[in-house]
Amino acid sequence: MRSKILLLSALAVLAGCARPVPVESPDMAPAELRAALAKCCAQGDQYPPGVVAVVESAASSAIPFSRSVLVRKPYLQDAPGAAEAILGRAQPLDLILVANRAHLSGVLGTGYFGHSILYIGGEGDLRALGLWDHPLVRPYQGQIRAGALAIEAIEGGVRLADTQLVMDSDNSALLRPRALSTADKRAAILYLFEQLGTPFDVHFDMASDQALFCTELVAKALPDMGLPVTTAYGRQVVWPDEVAAKSLIGETGYELVSYIKGAPGGAWRRADWAEMARDILAAWPPASPPAPDAARLAEAS
């Protein structure tokens, strides 16, 4: 069991869609927060290639296992008024970022936001966009009428998600894309429906078109949003935390609409951008400065 926990811990660090909630956040002024967010979420390759190879070989079973183990009930799930606070304000193609320690995958690893979901809206929204009777949407009309209102890439593959699935969260942020035309919205939503059933990418590699992880789905559905792409372990990834951090300082096409935080017993509260920034930064210690090279040492001596 101990070896399995160590393996899952390594997987959680590798997995952009399996990052947990942090501890106390630093006390910073707004200008300091913005400067820190600009440098946030950089993480070097923490594990040697041999460890990564072992992790890769077990990823297809270990990641679903870690996600399936429920440690406790998510704070926002069934919390009175919480779904309305997020989904009641949502518009098609809004991005929902989720921080969750209710699952084992959220307990292990580092980071704050661990998952991303794209809101597509209900029947009325899709009719307004002229998509309700589109051949890609028509097969899912029953599910949408039954409450499916978002699409996510998660273990098991890309799927429609209802309120219960979207609110599987301790803390959630709602971000809105700026200046999307109707044509852009239509194209993005049709792309999302086209991806339903696509396998989940347990290797978190954006170069592959055969499988998708959560933020990869967002980046490919809305390529003009300028989501930050990071190279980690020899592959290109998009960390949910980095999307949040860069969005808070205007470096993506998203802007914050709402941020709510849950607590045991169904309590929750609204929080502002600065608190969200502190929560993210608390999960990412500042990167260590690079070691001085020999030339600099000689110059300084």
Listed by start position, the domains of the chain span: 2-285
What is the distance between the alpha carbons of residues 29 and 212, in angstroms, rounded to a whole number?
A: 38
Whole-number average pLDDT of the chain: 82
| Averaged pLDDT for residues 254-269 | 96
Q: What are phi and psi of 123, to 5 degrees?
A: -60, -45
User: What's the pTM?
Assistant: 0.83
Q: What is the pLDDT of residues 93-146, one digit of tens each?
A: 999 999 988 766 666 666 899 899 999 999 999 999 999 999 999 999 999 999
What is the distance between the alpha carbons of residues 31 and 38, in angstroms, rounded to a whole number?
A: 11
E strands in 62-183 = 95-99, 115-119, 150-154, 157-161, 171-177
- From the number of C-beta atoms within 10 Å of its C-beta (0-12, 13-18, 19+), residue 8 rates as buried
Class of domain 2-285: alpha beta
Spatial CA neighbour of 97 closest among 293, 252, 206: 252
Tell me if residue 287 falls in helix, strand or coil: coil
What's the angle, vertex CA 275, arms to CA 239 and CA 88, rounded to 5?
Answer: 80
Does the pLDDT of residue 12 top 80, yes or no? Answer: no
CA torsion sign for 84, 153, 285, 247 is negative
Does the pLDDT of residue 59 top 60, yes or no? Answer: no
Sheet of 268-270, strands arranged across: 157-161, 150-154, 115-119, 95-99, 171-177, 254-262, 268-270
Q: What is the pLDDT of residues 15-30, one digit of tens each?
A: 444 443 343 445 778 8
- Place 179 in a pLDDT band, splitting at 50, 70 and 90: confident
Token readout for 180 is 């999307």
The set of residues, in sequence order, having a beta carbon less than 8 Å from that of 154 and lying 6+ positions away, is 17, 67, 115, 200, 214
| Averaged pLDDT for residues 39-47 | 67
297 vs 152, residue with greater confidence: 152
What is the distance between the alpha carbons of residues 88 and 41, in angstroms, rounded to a whole number?
A: 30
Spatial CA neighbour of 160 closest among 186, 215, 104, 122: 122
